[in-house]
């Protein structure tokens, strides 16, 4: 499979990048952003919505960097794994992404903005054409959704980024930039429950960095992941669980978030708020798993069937909560 031809733009500053995007948009020319390219280039080779222009963010130093409370969008995943400053929960999630070769190219921004996936979509152009197209990449045919037919409004392709649930549990804020200005929001509000739009980014807008509150330094957590192959695959399901510990060593709060089950990563703060802190931790972990199983809504568009993924949501939640508890005890 050949990568289709496109024009590459290489701005060296953030202002230059968003201005380039504005000019292309004003001319009615389609474009994509590229950071590490580990998701975009394979999609282009498969003929999935390629654009005639690509804006590279590789030379923009101001959106890179890794520190305790700030991680740039262009921070490489392996740098996040190896950093002694990054929160261990974020490092754990980053270390679960693909292989070290992919992590040396892949970025924080790329993982957060990861394109949603579906086995009706992530195939070669020849394969998709032979069975008819789908709603997300219909090639102008107006094709229906292959997962939930007879509705042509909502794409249910699955979000499979690993870093989002860990960052949501830590209270991360995402910062965005465009030629119109800057804005920020809690990360959990960044995503939109549609496999095509995926997030709130407007045309010409990019993620610049995420910030973590100082209170995140008192959080202990765990990220648990389901995938086909340990050394490569996207999550078929992932659960992050976080325990807030106060200066006296007492648990002052809990949080949980998931990925790989639906079109968005989702916070489950409402479920952990029901945990009885005075009860036996193992029993509460089992109960939490049952509640998460009832909550997530996977569909038949990844390699594992929805029933198995729902069952594993329960297992992952229980594992994440129990592992976090062990780490609190040993901290």
Q: CB-based contacts of 73: which residues, under 8 Å, 6+ apart?
A: 35, 57, 63, 64, 107, 108, 109, 112, 206, 207, 208, 209, 210
| Contact of 53 with 73, CB cutoff 8 Å | no
Residue 107's φ and ψ, nearest 5 degrees, are: -125, 165
| Residue of 245, 176, 175, 214 lying closest to 87 (CA atoms) | 214
Is 125 or 309 the better-scoring residue by pLDDT? Answer: 309
Residue 174 clears pLDDT 70, i.e. is over it: yes
- For 269, counting Cβ atoms within 10 Å of its Cβ (0-12 exposed, 13-18 middle, 19+ buried), the class is middle
Q: Average pLDDT, stretch 295-304?
A: 96
Give tens-digit pLDDT for 181-200.
999 999 999 999 999 999 99
The residues that bridge with 238 in the sheet, in sequence order, are: 225, 259
Residue spans of the domains in the chain: they are 62-331
Is 105 or 137 the better-scoring residue by pLDDT? Answer: 105
Minimum mean pLDDT range among 27-36, 169-178, 245-254, 305-314: 245-254
| pLDDT confidence of residue 252 | 93
**Residue 152 — pLDDT band, cuts 50, 70, 90?**
low
Q: CB-based contacts of 210: which residues, under 8 Å, 6+ apart?
A: 70, 71, 73, 108, 112, 167, 172, 173, 174, 175, 187
Give tens-digit pLDDT for 262-297.
999 999 999 999 999 989 999 999 999 999 999 999
How large a percentage of the chain has pLDDT more than 70? 100
Rounded-to-10 torsion of CA 22, 25, 27, 31? 110
- Both tokens of 88, joined, read 């261990």
Residue 232 clears pLDDT 80, i.e. is over it: no
Q: What is the fold, at CATH topology level, of the domain defined by 62-331?
A: Enolase-like; domain 1 (3.30.390)
| This model's pTM is above 0.95 | yes
């Amino acid at each position: 499979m050949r990568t289709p031809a496109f024009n590459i733009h290489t701005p060296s500053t953030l202002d230059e990048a968003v201005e380039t995007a504005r000019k292309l948009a004003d001319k009615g020319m389609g474009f994509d952003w590229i950071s590490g390219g580990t998701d975009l280039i394979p999609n282009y080779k498969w003929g999935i919505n390629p654009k005639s222009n690509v804006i590279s963010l590789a030379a923009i130093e101001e959106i890179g960097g890794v520190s305790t409370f700030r991680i740039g969008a262009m921070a490489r995943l392996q740098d996040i794994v190896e950093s002694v400053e990054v929160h261990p929960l974020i490092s754990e999630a980053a270390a679960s992404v693909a292989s070290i070769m992919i992590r040396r190219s892949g970025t924080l921004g790329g993982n957060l903005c990861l394109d949603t996936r579906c086995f009706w979509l992530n195939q070669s152009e020849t394969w998709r054409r032979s069975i008819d197209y789908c709603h997300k990449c219909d090639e102008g045919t107006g094709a229906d959704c292959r997962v939930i037919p007879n509705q042509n409004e909502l794409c249910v392709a699955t979000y499979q980024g690993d870093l989002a649930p860990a960052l949501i549990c830590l209270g991360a804020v995402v910062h965005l930039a465009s030629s119109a200005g800057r804005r920020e929001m809690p990360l959990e509000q960044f995503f939109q429950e549609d496999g095509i739009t995926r997030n709130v980014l407007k045309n010409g807008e990019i993620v610049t960095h995420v910030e973590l509150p100082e209170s995140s330094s008192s959080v202990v957590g765990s990220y648990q992941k389901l995938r086909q192959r340990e050394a490569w695959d996207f999550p078929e399901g992932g659960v992050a669980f976080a325990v807030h510990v106060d200066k006296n060593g007492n648990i002052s709060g809990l949080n949980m978030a998931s990925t790989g089950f639906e079109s968005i990563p989702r916070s489950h703060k409402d479920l952990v708020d029901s945990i009885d802190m005075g009860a036996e931790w193992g029993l509460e972990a089992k109960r939490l798993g049952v509640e998460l199983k009832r909550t997530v809504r996977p569909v038949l568009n990844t390699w594992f069937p929805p029933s198995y993924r729902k069952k594993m949501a329960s297992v992952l939640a229980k594992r994440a909560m129990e592992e976090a508890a062990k780490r609190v005890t040993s901290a």
